[in-house]
Chain A
Amino acid sequence: MRIDDANARRRRGGRIGRLLAGAMVLALASPASAQTVSQIDQLLALDLTALLRVRVTLPSRVAEEAFAVPAAVFVIGADEIRRSGHRRLADVLRLVPGLHVGQIDSGKRVVSARNGMLRFSSTMLVMVDGRHVYTPLYGGVRWEQLDLPLETIERIEIVRGPGGALWGANAVDGIVHVITRPAAADDGTQGALALGSGELRGDAVLARSGRLGAGTQWRLQLRGYESDRGSHLPAAQSTHRDRRVPGSEAGDGGRAIHAGLRSDSRLGDGHTLATHWALSHQGIDEERALARGVLPNHISAGQASAGADWQRALAGGGALRLQAGLSHRRTADDILDERETLLDADLQHTAPAIGGALAWGLGARHYRSASTLPAARPCVACFTLLPEVATDTTVHGFVQQQQPLSEMLRLTLGSKFERSRRGGFHVQPTLRLAWTPVADQLLWAALTSPVRNATRSERDQAFVDVAPADVALFGCRSVVQGVCAVGNAQAPYWRVRSAEAGWRLRAGVTWGVDLALFDNRYDMRNAAGSAATAVSGSRLHGAELTLRWNPLPQLRLAADLTRHRGSERTLAGLRRPVTLLPEDRAHVGVRWQPAGHWRLDADLYTASAMSRPAGAATITLPRQRRLDLRAAWRAAPATELALGVTNARGDGGAEAVELNKVNTAPRRAALLTLTHGF
């Protein structure tokens, strides 16, 4: 059996090796295809008037900006977001190599970079226009609450692995930065209306832009949508004992409304000011899986946020940037009423120095979390947080020098310094090298050591009304008047030692190869910095390969392969594979424009099966195969009618897990979307 496994692994490894070698040979051998050359010759024969009429089929800028970055970077532009056919932010991230996106139920998603597919296991930093949107409560992101209209997003930048000195704590396994389009980039009114079944029942977006005086532009955006319900899972994939008929409709679903305002002002003398305002509310249905059965639960989540971003270009090529944001969120359901307030401010300065570029910054973040139990407790052993009110303030600074060592070699050296009242003081150094032996190739390597602080839920979680017989079951550290404290006020933090390397190559606009390798060691440490006694850590390593081929201006093909392997040490000191880690993942994407007004797009995804011990049993998530299709007809530059069928094969099983909840599988879904600008 072992020999078979080893042979199978060798065969798989051999396949990837051959693919890599093939990609290298092709990329090196065909720097410019005959097709591209003849296209250039045709274009050179045109005059300016004729050139102005030519339509751009391949916006290359986004990819080119990412080319020189010595990290595993991926950028999704606005056109790619639209052509993905998805209308939820988390689902769009399925396009990113090395990232795993899984559905928990019809509304909720898990997004994980180099980590397992559990809802509350996130170690990613997620930002919208520089403002942190992850919840410090558990260090993760409630993706269902990120409901801004995708039409207003200019691009999404994704860094897999530690982000480096510039980014904040939690940037351990990845960064997702959503950047919305400046109001100045829009004109008039844009609307989108989508109707469908299987995933979304309806989605309506309206965005209007205008001018206020000479130097200010604004955009108001409104969105409302309703999710369809998911279907129950087969017993082997289910996390609860009260089995429902597989494939039957579950009690999930939900609806959301969002209103946002953005303004961009040019204040003269190189000053610019952008402000963001947003209000939103979600009503999310789910089912809780308890020992005594399945109970419906309704989550009501409201958010308000405001942010400002002031920038000034300095004489001599430098820049000064000040960002500040305030957000408040209330999430209430049958179990807990939870209010979070987050205030953050960041100052960054970049300037040419000693033949390179020096960047430094200072910032502060204040967090307040208050939770109360509902008056009528519907459950026994309800989850809660004690103390009911907790605050924490973090101050941080960073300094980073980017230094050219020669024409071809660039060094980035820096560190982040962070101090929080509850998490202590941490230094997080970064060293990156970028080598450009020829203009179209980049080899990079990085050594980083980020930190993930313990979260509020790790410190303060507790269960109320725990029966004396269940004290051991819940792992109570203390029990006072039936309240079982599970969290640890001195909860250890994670120190990660990460080594990464990568190779990027492109041949004109025709070919591109991007390979990233990483090895992460996670050590759990107590506040004094020594290794924690119980669990000492885990190790994860892997390779992520992306190939891009544009054989024709109208046809773009992309393929990516991800292979992750990991092991963790259990409480008993045994090593075992990281649970719920999709070890192998592949994606093939086709973007075809057969005629001027038509776009036909397809994405095929596969991911290996995953498992996790759950008491005496094991939860197994099956091998994933997913096909998303989209056909769009662009009647005018601003009018498009698109029909999308997601999960077209319809045979997907569970993709991710939230314990103690009824998880559902994605259904085959169709969506007809009309977008129109006027």
Chain B
Amino acid sequence: MARAARRPAVLALACALALLPLRAPAQAQADEAALKLAYLYNFAQFVSWPAESFAEAQAPLVLCVAGRDPWGPMLDRLGGRVVAGHTLRVARPRGVSEARGCHLLYVDDVAGQAWLLAALAEAPVLTVASQADAEAAAPPPATIGFVRRGERLGWAVNLELLRKARLKLSSKLLEMAVRLHDGERAP
């Protein structure tokens, strides 16, 4: 009886195993959080900040995460790397004044940190936010919003916020974006 009971399960497993050799070549895959971190690191190489953003030519480039931190010590491992001639420094600001010292700021919990994004709207900080799937078509609440399309992660750019922040993105970053939003004009 017990053996009979196991038969469909064994059958299912056998079917699954039999089909295994049909698999397509493996593709690169990663956790969403790890992928976002790699994107942030890449973004830093394609942004031009106003000259006054760096006190001196050798000043560090400050990468921040505000509120919820999806990476923990993994983020700290980025500190010390050199990006576009600047040494990368990691920070977790606790208020607006500290956040103004960031060059690139990531916000995971958009609802909880909306006040910070609003306060930084005209500061020369490249704000990057995680955008909910349901809001994928809406303008990002930050200069850049991560957008998930199926199993791929891309980004959308809010050109209006970018202008206010006096930042310039390389054409590569704009061309590869999923969507460009410019105020109430057509997306």
B29→A40 contact, CB < 8 A? no
Binds A, one of B33-41, B47-55, B56-64, B156-164: B33-41
Does B27 touch A at the CB level, under 8 Å? yes
Question: Which of A184, A507, A553, A648 meets B29, CB within 8 Å?
Answer: A553
In chain A between 585 and 602, which residues have their CB closer than 8 angstroms to a CB of chain B?
Answer: 593-598, 600
CB distance B31 to A64 under 8 Å?
no
Q: How far is the CB of A312 from the nearest CB of chain B, in Å?
A: 13
Are B109's CB and A31's CB within 8 A? no
Count of chain B residues with a beta carbon within 8 Å of a chain A beta carbon: 66
Q: Is the CB of B6 within 8 A of A54?
A: no
Residue from A40, A184, A439, A600 within 8 A of B37 (CB atoms):
A40
Contacts of A32 in B (CB 8 A): 72-74
Within 8 A of A (CB), among B4-60: 5-6, 8-9, 11-13, 15-16, 19-20, 22-35, 37-39, 41-42, 46
Tell me whether A509 and B70 are in contact (CB under 8 A): yes
Instruction: Check A54–B77 contact: CB distance below 8 A.
Output: no
- Mark each residue of chain A from 593 to 613: 1 if its CB lies under 8 Å from any CB of chain B, else 0: 111111010000000000000
B86 at the interface (CB under 8 A from A): no
Contacts of B78 in A (CB 8 A): 44
Distance of A53 Cα from B153 Cα, bound (Å): 9
Whether the pair A650, B31 counts as a contact (CB closer than 8 A) is no
Partner pick for B154 among A52, A67, A352, CB 8 A cutoff: A52
A647: min CB distance to chain B, Å: 10
Interface residues of A in 45-67 (CB under 8 A from B): 46-61, 64-65, 67
A507 in complex: contacting residue of B9, B23, B72, B77, CB < 8 Å: B72
Indicate whether A348 reaches chain B with its CB closer than 8 angstroms: no
Q: Is there contact, CB below 8 Å, between A509 and B33?
A: yes
* B5 and A36 within 8 A (CB): no
From A54, A184, A317, A352, give the contact of B35 (CB < 8 A): A54
Min CB distance B55 to A, Å, is 27
Greatest chain A CB density within 10 A among B15, B42, B186 is at B42
| Chain B neighbourhood of A594, CB < 8 A | 20
Given known A595-B23, A596-B25, contact A509–B15 (CB-CB < 8 A): no
Asked if A37 lies at the interface with its beta carbon under 8 angstroms from chain B, I say yes
User: What 1/0 flags go to B131-175 for Cβ under 8 Å of A?
Assistant: 011101110000000001011111000000000000000001100
If the complex has contacts A36-B31, A61-B130, are A184 and B136 also in contact, measured as CB distance less than 8 A?
yes
Contact between chains at B13 and A637 (CB < 8 Å)? no
Instruction: Tell whether A649 pairs with B15 under 8 Å between CB atoms, given A508-B72, A509-B33.
Output: no
Q: Contact: A52 with B176, CB < 8 Å?
A: yes
Given contacts A55-B29, A67-B68, A317-B118, contact A154 B133 (CB under 8 A): yes
| Residues of B contacting A56 in the complex (Cβ-Cβ under 8 angstroms) | 29-32, 35, 148, 151-153
Inside 8 A of B70's CB, which chain A residues have their CB?
60, 64, 508-509
A53-B28, A154-B134, A439-B69 in contact; A645/B34 too (CB < 8 A)? no
Selected contact of A184 from candidates B6, B38, B137, B148, CB within 8 Å = B137
Given the complex, which residues of A lie within 8 Å of B46, measured CB to CB?
Answer: 48
Would you give the 0/1 interface string for A548-579, flagging 1 where the beta carbon is closer than 8 Å to chain B?
00100110000000000000000000000000
Q: Does A336 contact B (CB under 8 A)?
A: no
Docked complex: A37-91 residues within 8 A CB-CB of B: 37, 39-40, 43-44, 46-61, 64-65, 67-68
Tell me whether A268 is interfacial, beta carbon within 8 Å.
yes
CB pair A593 B72 closer than 8 Å = no
A249 is an interface residue with CB less than 8 A from chain B: no
Cα A407 to Cα B98 with chains together (Å) = 14
Q: Which of A104-112, A162-170, A288-296, A625-633 contacts B (4 or more CB under 8 A)?
A: A625-633
Query: Given that A56-B151, A637-B150, A651-B5 are known contacts, is A43 also in contact with B35, CB under 8 Å in the complex?
Result: yes
A440 contacts the other chain (CB 8 A)? yes
Report whether B68 and A68 are in contact in the complex, using a CB–CB cutoff of 8 Å: yes
Whether A185 lies near B8 (C-beta < 8 A) is: no
Known: A32-B74, A40-B34, A51-B42. A64 touches B148 (CB 8 A): no
In the complex, A156 Cα to B115 Cα: how many Å? 28
- Residue A130, interface by CB 8 Å: no
Smallest Cβ distance from B161 to chain A, in angstroms? 15
Contacts of A182 in B (CB 8 A): 134
Chain B residues, CB < 8 A from A593: 29
Q: Does A670 lie at the interface of the complex (its beta carbon under 8 Å from any beta carbon of B)? A: yes
Instruction: List the A side residues contacting B8 at CB < 8 Å.
Output: 645, 648, 650, 668, 670
- 5 more contacts with CB within 8 A, not counting A58-B33, A60-B33, A553-B29, are A39-B34, A48-B176, A55-B28, A56-B151, A64-B68
Q: List 27 A-B contacts (CB under 8 A).
A: A32-B73, A37-B74, A39-B31, A40-B38, A40-B74, A43-B38, A48-B39, A48-B176, A54-B35, A54-B153, A56-B30, A57-B29, A67-B68, A68-B112, A317-B114, A439-B68, A508-B33, A508-B74, A553-B29, A553-B31, A553-B34, A595-B20, A598-B23, A631-B15, A633-B19, A637-B150, A670-B8
Closest 9 CB pairs of A and B: A631-B16, A43-B38, A648-B9, A650-B5, A55-B151, A439-B69, A595-B23, A58-B31, A55-B29
